[in-house]
Amino acid sequence: MKKYIYILFLIVSLISFSFNSYAQDLPIACGGSVERYRVAGDNGNSDFYWEVTGGEILRFFNDSVDIKWSIVAGVRTITVTEKNLYGCEGDPYSQTLMVSAPFVDIGLDEDICAGETYEFITSSSDVTSYLWQDNETSSETFIASVSGDYWVRVTDEYGCANTDTATLIVHDLPLVDLGADTTLCAGEPGITFDVADFGENYEWFNDEINSIYTAEYNGEKQEIWVKVTDQYGCVGIDTVLVGLCEIFIPNTITPNGDNYNDDWEIEALQAFDDVTVDVYNRWGERVYHSKKYDEPWNGTNLKGKKLPMDSYYYVIDLHNGDEPIVGTVTIIR
Protein backbone atom coordinates (compact mmCIF):
# COMPACT_ATOMS: atom_id res chain seq x y z
CA MET A 1 0.00 0.00 0.00
CA LYS A 2 1.30 3.45 -0.95
CA LYS A 3 1.05 5.48 2.21
CA TYR A 4 -0.53 8.87 1.80
CA ILE A 5 -0.67 9.77 -1.87
CA TYR A 6 -1.67 13.39 -1.59
CA ILE A 7 -4.42 15.10 -3.53
CA LEU A 8 -4.25 18.90 -3.78
CA PHE A 9 -6.69 20.36 -1.26
CA LEU A 10 -8.76 23.33 -2.44
CA ILE A 11 -10.79 25.44 -0.03
CA VAL A 12 -14.10 26.71 -1.24
CA SER A 13 -12.98 30.31 -1.77
CA LEU A 14 -10.52 29.32 -4.51
CA ILE A 15 -11.40 29.07 -8.16
CA SER A 16 -12.15 25.51 -9.29
CA PHE A 17 -9.29 23.56 -10.81
CA SER A 18 -9.48 23.09 -14.58
CA PHE A 19 -9.86 19.29 -15.06
CA ASN A 20 -8.89 17.17 -18.07
CA SER A 21 -10.39 13.67 -17.63
CA TYR A 22 -7.54 12.06 -19.55
CA ALA A 23 -4.69 13.73 -17.72
CA GLN A 24 -2.38 11.70 -15.49
CA ASP A 25 -2.38 13.56 -12.20
CA LEU A 26 -1.58 10.79 -9.72
CA PRO A 27 0.95 7.97 -9.77
CA ILE A 28 -0.03 4.87 -11.72
CA ALA A 29 -1.76 2.21 -9.64
CA CYS A 30 -1.88 -1.50 -10.30
CA GLY A 31 -5.13 -3.30 -10.88
CA GLY A 32 -6.33 -5.12 -7.77
CA SER A 33 -4.06 -3.11 -5.45
CA VAL A 34 -5.15 -1.14 -2.38
CA GLU A 35 -3.82 2.42 -2.17
CA ARG A 36 -4.29 5.26 0.33
CA TYR A 37 -5.04 8.80 -0.87
CA ARG A 38 -5.13 11.99 1.29
CA VAL A 39 -5.94 15.61 0.77
CA ALA A 40 -3.12 18.16 1.26
CA GLY A 41 -3.45 21.20 3.50
CA ASP A 42 -6.22 19.96 5.76
CA ASN A 43 -6.45 22.07 8.92
CA GLY A 44 -8.62 19.53 10.73
CA ASN A 45 -11.76 21.67 10.62
CA SER A 46 -13.32 20.41 7.40
CA ASP A 47 -15.28 17.35 6.33
CA PHE A 48 -14.51 15.62 3.05
CA TYR A 49 -16.73 13.60 0.76
CA TRP A 50 -15.08 11.12 -1.61
CA GLU A 51 -16.16 9.57 -4.87
CA VAL A 52 -14.20 7.12 -7.00
CA THR A 53 -14.73 5.50 -10.41
CA GLY A 54 -13.40 2.02 -11.13
CA GLY A 55 -12.54 1.29 -7.53
CA GLU A 56 -13.98 0.55 -4.10
CA ILE A 57 -13.46 2.66 -0.98
CA LEU A 58 -12.48 0.12 1.67
CA ARG A 59 -11.74 2.51 4.57
CA PHE A 60 -12.72 6.15 5.16
CA PHE A 61 -10.74 8.49 7.46
CA ASN A 62 -12.38 11.82 6.50
CA ASP A 63 -9.26 13.40 4.96
CA SER A 64 -8.00 10.10 3.50
CA VAL A 65 -9.32 6.87 2.02
CA ASP A 66 -8.06 3.40 1.16
CA ILE A 67 -9.18 2.44 -2.34
CA LYS A 68 -9.07 -1.00 -3.89
CA TRP A 69 -8.76 -0.65 -7.65
CA SER A 70 -10.49 -3.01 -10.04
CA ILE A 71 -8.35 -5.46 -11.99
CA VAL A 72 -9.39 -3.88 -15.28
CA ALA A 73 -6.94 -1.38 -16.73
CA GLY A 74 -8.04 2.15 -17.57
CA VAL A 75 -8.26 5.79 -16.51
CA ARG A 76 -9.82 6.30 -13.09
CA THR A 77 -11.05 9.40 -11.26
CA ILE A 78 -10.98 10.41 -7.60
CA THR A 79 -13.26 13.30 -6.61
CA VAL A 80 -13.20 15.12 -3.26
CA THR A 81 -15.69 17.70 -1.99
CA GLU A 82 -14.91 19.81 1.12
CA LYS A 83 -17.34 21.26 3.61
CA ASN A 84 -15.70 23.69 6.04
CA LEU A 85 -16.39 24.51 9.66
CA TYR A 86 -19.05 27.02 8.66
CA GLY A 87 -21.00 24.62 6.48
CA CYS A 88 -19.72 26.11 3.26
CA GLU A 89 -19.14 23.52 0.53
CA GLY A 90 -16.48 23.92 -2.10
CA ASP A 91 -16.65 22.81 -5.70
CA PRO A 92 -15.83 19.12 -6.25
CA TYR A 93 -12.16 18.61 -7.06
CA SER A 94 -11.01 15.65 -9.19
CA GLN A 95 -7.77 14.06 -10.20
CA THR A 96 -7.14 11.15 -12.54
CA LEU A 97 -4.78 8.25 -12.55
CA MET A 98 -4.05 5.27 -14.75
CA VAL A 99 -4.73 1.78 -13.42
CA SER A 100 -2.42 -0.69 -15.13
CA ALA A 101 -3.40 -4.38 -15.23
CA PRO A 102 -1.52 -6.66 -17.62
CA PHE A 103 -3.70 -9.31 -19.29
CA VAL A 104 -2.66 -12.95 -19.03
CA ASP A 105 -4.34 -16.25 -19.90
CA ILE A 106 -2.80 -19.73 -20.08
CA GLY A 107 -6.00 -21.47 -21.11
CA LEU A 108 -8.40 -23.89 -19.49
CA ASP A 109 -7.70 -26.91 -17.33
CA GLU A 110 -6.39 -29.80 -19.43
CA ASP A 111 -6.25 -33.61 -19.37
CA ILE A 112 -3.49 -35.71 -20.92
CA CYS A 113 -2.42 -39.34 -20.76
CA ALA A 114 0.66 -40.71 -19.02
CA GLY A 115 3.69 -40.37 -21.25
CA GLU A 116 2.35 -37.25 -22.99
CA THR A 117 3.21 -33.60 -22.41
CA TYR A 118 1.14 -30.43 -22.54
CA GLU A 119 2.41 -26.98 -23.42
CA PHE A 120 0.84 -24.06 -21.58
CA ILE A 121 1.02 -21.04 -23.88
CA THR A 122 0.69 -17.57 -22.41
CA SER A 123 -1.68 -15.15 -24.08
CA SER A 124 -0.83 -11.69 -22.74
CA SER A 125 -0.45 -8.01 -23.52
CA ASP A 126 1.83 -5.21 -22.35
CA VAL A 127 4.04 -7.67 -20.48
CA THR A 128 7.77 -7.33 -19.80
CA SER A 129 8.49 -10.48 -17.75
CA TYR A 130 7.15 -13.93 -16.90
CA LEU A 131 7.49 -16.04 -13.76
CA TRP A 132 6.26 -19.65 -13.72
CA GLN A 133 5.56 -21.74 -10.64
CA ASP A 134 9.00 -23.37 -10.85
CA ASN A 135 10.75 -19.96 -11.05
CA GLU A 136 11.30 -20.31 -14.80
CA THR A 137 11.44 -16.81 -16.33
CA SER A 138 12.82 -17.28 -19.82
CA SER A 139 9.76 -18.33 -21.80
CA GLU A 140 6.14 -17.48 -22.53
CA THR A 141 5.38 -21.23 -22.58
CA PHE A 142 5.73 -24.09 -20.13
CA ILE A 143 5.79 -27.82 -20.92
CA ALA A 144 4.24 -30.04 -18.26
CA SER A 145 3.95 -33.79 -17.89
CA VAL A 146 2.71 -34.37 -14.32
CA SER A 147 -0.59 -33.58 -12.61
CA GLY A 148 -0.81 -30.31 -10.72
CA ASP A 149 -1.64 -26.61 -10.76
CA TYR A 150 0.42 -24.48 -13.12
CA TRP A 151 0.55 -20.71 -13.03
CA VAL A 152 2.38 -17.81 -14.57
CA ARG A 153 2.82 -14.33 -13.12
CA VAL A 154 3.36 -11.54 -15.63
CA THR A 155 4.66 -8.04 -14.92
CA ASP A 156 4.33 -4.91 -17.03
CA GLU A 157 6.59 -1.89 -17.39
CA TYR A 158 5.05 -0.26 -14.30
CA GLY A 159 5.72 -3.25 -12.08
CA CYS A 160 2.06 -4.25 -12.06
CA ALA A 161 1.47 -7.99 -12.06
CA ASN A 162 -1.26 -10.46 -12.87
CA THR A 163 -1.47 -14.22 -12.51
CA ASP A 164 -3.37 -16.99 -14.24
CA THR A 165 -3.62 -20.61 -13.13
CA ALA A 166 -4.69 -23.83 -14.83
CA THR A 167 -4.78 -27.43 -13.68
CA LEU A 168 -3.27 -30.35 -15.56
CA ILE A 169 -4.56 -33.86 -14.89
CA VAL A 170 -2.44 -36.77 -16.12
CA HIS A 171 -4.45 -39.96 -16.46
CA ASP A 172 -2.82 -43.35 -16.12
CA LEU A 173 -2.97 -45.62 -19.15
CA PRO A 174 -5.47 -48.48 -18.96
CA LEU A 175 -3.78 -51.44 -17.30
CA VAL A 176 -4.84 -54.05 -19.84
CA ASP A 177 -4.03 -57.61 -18.79
CA LEU A 178 -4.55 -60.62 -21.05
CA GLY A 179 -2.84 -62.87 -18.56
CA ALA A 180 0.31 -64.92 -18.83
CA ASP A 181 1.41 -66.68 -22.01
CA THR A 182 -0.40 -69.97 -22.35
CA THR A 183 -0.88 -73.04 -24.56
CA LEU A 184 -3.80 -74.59 -26.36
CA CYS A 185 -4.12 -78.25 -27.22
CA ALA A 186 -6.03 -79.96 -29.99
CA GLY A 187 -9.54 -80.80 -28.93
CA GLU A 188 -9.58 -78.28 -26.10
CA PRO A 189 -12.15 -75.45 -26.05
CA GLY A 190 -10.85 -72.04 -27.10
CA ILE A 191 -9.37 -69.54 -24.66
CA THR A 192 -11.57 -66.48 -24.09
CA PHE A 193 -10.05 -63.08 -23.30
CA ASP A 194 -12.33 -60.38 -21.84
CA VAL A 195 -11.10 -56.77 -21.54
CA ALA A 196 -14.42 -55.02 -20.84
CA ASP A 197 -13.20 -53.84 -17.42
CA PHE A 198 -10.19 -52.02 -18.83
CA GLY A 199 -11.76 -49.38 -21.08
CA GLU A 200 -14.52 -48.35 -23.45
CA ASN A 201 -13.22 -49.05 -26.95
CA TYR A 202 -11.33 -52.10 -28.15
CA GLU A 203 -9.23 -53.08 -31.15
CA TRP A 204 -7.85 -56.60 -31.49
CA PHE A 205 -4.98 -57.75 -33.66
CA ASN A 206 -7.49 -59.05 -36.25
CA ASP A 207 -9.49 -55.77 -36.32
CA GLU A 208 -12.32 -57.07 -34.14
CA ILE A 209 -13.79 -54.35 -31.91
CA ASN A 210 -15.64 -56.37 -29.26
CA SER A 211 -14.49 -56.58 -25.66
CA ILE A 212 -14.26 -60.39 -25.87
CA TYR A 213 -12.06 -62.49 -28.13
CA THR A 214 -11.79 -66.29 -28.20
CA ALA A 215 -8.61 -67.93 -29.47
CA GLU A 216 -9.36 -71.26 -31.16
CA TYR A 217 -6.84 -74.04 -31.73
CA ASN A 218 -5.49 -73.77 -35.28
CA GLY A 219 -2.34 -75.85 -35.08
CA GLU A 220 -0.13 -72.73 -34.98
CA LYS A 221 1.30 -70.45 -32.37
CA GLN A 222 -0.72 -67.27 -31.97
CA GLU A 223 0.34 -63.79 -30.89
CA ILE A 224 -2.75 -62.00 -29.63
CA TRP A 225 -2.80 -58.31 -28.75
CA VAL A 226 -5.49 -55.81 -27.92
CA LYS A 227 -5.55 -52.02 -27.77
CA VAL A 228 -7.98 -50.55 -25.21
CA THR A 229 -9.03 -46.89 -25.08
CA ASP A 230 -10.61 -45.41 -21.93
CA GLN A 231 -12.97 -42.46 -21.43
CA TYR A 232 -10.06 -40.01 -21.45
CA GLY A 233 -8.71 -41.24 -24.77
CA CYS A 234 -5.79 -42.97 -23.09
CA VAL A 235 -4.61 -46.21 -24.68
CA GLY A 236 -3.32 -49.39 -23.08
CA ILE A 237 -1.96 -52.40 -24.96
CA ASP A 238 -1.21 -55.96 -23.91
CA THR A 239 -0.01 -59.02 -25.79
CA VAL A 240 -0.20 -62.71 -24.98
CA LEU A 241 1.34 -65.69 -26.76
CA VAL A 242 -0.79 -68.81 -27.19
CA GLY A 243 1.49 -71.69 -28.00
CA LEU A 244 0.75 -75.29 -28.84
CA CYS A 245 0.67 -77.71 -25.99
CA GLU A 246 3.55 -80.17 -25.98
CA ILE A 247 3.02 -83.06 -28.37
CA PHE A 248 3.43 -86.30 -26.45
CA ILE A 249 5.11 -88.96 -28.59
CA PRO A 250 5.33 -92.49 -27.06
CA ASN A 251 8.75 -94.09 -27.41
CA THR A 252 7.51 -97.70 -27.45
CA ILE A 253 4.65 -99.76 -28.83
CA THR A 254 3.77 -103.40 -28.03
CA PRO A 255 1.72 -104.65 -31.01
CA ASN A 256 0.86 -108.04 -29.53
CA GLY A 257 -2.88 -107.98 -30.01
CA ASP A 258 -3.88 -107.32 -26.39
CA ASN A 259 -5.43 -103.97 -27.33
CA TYR A 260 -3.03 -102.17 -25.03
CA ASN A 261 -0.38 -99.97 -26.63
CA ASP A 262 -0.77 -101.89 -29.89
CA ASP A 263 -0.70 -98.66 -31.93
CA TRP A 264 1.58 -95.62 -31.88
CA GLU A 265 -1.02 -93.13 -30.66
CA ILE A 266 -0.10 -89.41 -31.08
CA GLU A 267 -3.41 -87.64 -30.48
CA ALA A 268 -2.18 -84.07 -30.93
CA LEU A 269 -1.33 -84.72 -34.59
CA GLN A 270 -5.00 -84.83 -35.51
CA ALA A 271 -5.13 -81.03 -35.38
CA PHE A 272 -2.52 -80.64 -38.13
CA ASP A 273 -4.07 -81.14 -41.55
CA ASP A 274 -0.75 -81.20 -43.40
CA VAL A 275 1.28 -83.29 -40.97
CA THR A 276 3.40 -86.11 -42.38
CA VAL A 277 4.85 -89.01 -40.38
CA ASP A 278 7.72 -91.19 -41.66
CA VAL A 279 9.37 -94.13 -39.89
CA TYR A 280 12.73 -95.63 -40.95
CA ASN A 281 14.59 -98.78 -39.96
CA ARG A 282 18.22 -98.82 -38.86
CA TRP A 283 19.36 -99.05 -42.54
CA GLY A 284 17.47 -95.89 -43.51
CA GLU A 285 14.71 -97.66 -45.34
CA ARG A 286 11.30 -96.07 -44.94
CA VAL A 287 8.91 -98.56 -43.43
CA TYR A 288 5.96 -96.23 -42.78
CA HIS A 289 4.52 -93.04 -44.28
CA SER A 290 1.31 -91.18 -43.46
CA LYS A 291 -0.26 -87.81 -44.23
CA LYS A 292 -2.66 -86.40 -41.65
CA TYR A 293 -1.93 -89.46 -39.49
CA ASP A 294 -5.53 -90.60 -39.58
CA GLU A 295 -4.52 -94.21 -38.91
CA PRO A 296 -1.83 -94.66 -36.21
CA TRP A 297 1.15 -96.87 -37.03
CA ASN A 298 0.77 -100.43 -35.73
CA GLY A 299 4.32 -101.70 -36.20
CA THR A 300 3.98 -102.95 -39.78
CA ASN A 301 5.84 -101.92 -42.92
CA LEU A 302 4.44 -100.30 -46.05
CA LYS A 303 3.20 -103.71 -47.25
CA GLY A 304 1.46 -104.49 -43.94
CA LYS A 305 4.04 -106.99 -42.78
CA LYS A 306 4.88 -107.05 -39.07
CA LEU A 307 8.24 -105.51 -38.30
CA PRO A 308 10.69 -107.17 -35.93
CA MET A 309 11.52 -105.89 -32.46
CA ASP A 310 13.92 -103.02 -32.88
CA SER A 311 14.29 -99.27 -32.54
CA TYR A 312 13.03 -97.19 -35.47
CA TYR A 313 13.81 -93.62 -36.43
CA TYR A 314 10.87 -91.25 -37.05
CA VAL A 315 10.42 -87.82 -38.66
CA ILE A 316 7.21 -85.88 -37.93
CA ASP A 317 6.75 -82.71 -39.97
CA LEU A 318 3.83 -80.51 -38.87
CA HIS A 319 4.28 -78.26 -41.93
CA ASN A 320 3.56 -75.20 -39.81
CA GLY A 321 6.96 -73.58 -40.05
CA ASP A 322 8.48 -75.43 -37.12
CA GLU A 323 11.42 -77.77 -37.47
CA PRO A 324 10.43 -81.45 -37.96
CA ILE A 325 10.23 -83.55 -34.80
CA VAL A 326 12.67 -86.45 -34.80
CA GLY A 327 13.35 -89.34 -32.44
CA THR A 328 13.14 -93.12 -32.01
CA VAL A 329 10.34 -95.51 -31.23
CA THR A 330 10.90 -99.12 -30.20
CA ILE A 331 8.77 -102.10 -31.11
CA ILE A 332 8.50 -104.66 -28.29
CA ARG A 333 6.73 -107.92 -28.99
Per-domain residue ranges of the chain = 5-100, 103-171, 182-244, 252-331
5-100: CATH class: mainly beta
d(CA 203, CA 201): 7
Specify the higher pLDDT residue, 318 or 44: 318
- 136, 144 in Cβ contact below 8 A? no
Domain with residues 103-171, CATH architecture? Sandwich (2.60)
What are the pLDDT digits (tens) for 8-60? 443 322 222 322 333 346 889 999 999 999 988 766 789 999 999 999 999 99
- 127, 139 in Cβ contact below 8 A? no
Would the CATH topology of 5-100 be identical to that of 103-171? yes
Question: Of 183-192, 197-206, 302-311, which gets the smallest average pLDDT?
Answer: 183-192
> What mean pLDDT is predicted for residues 94-105?
93
> What mean pLDDT is predicted for residues 64-93?
92
Q: What is the pLDDT of residue 5?
A: 55
According to CATH, the topology of domain 252-331 is Immunoglobulin-like (2.60.40)
Q: What is the pLDDT of residue 322?
A: 80
Whether residue 1 is predicted with pLDDT greater than 60 in this model: the reply is no
Mean pLDDT (the chain, rounded)? 88
Predicted TM-score (pTM) of this structure: 0.62
d(CA 19, CA 10): 13
Whether residue 298 is predicted with pLDDT greater than 90 in this model: the reply is yes
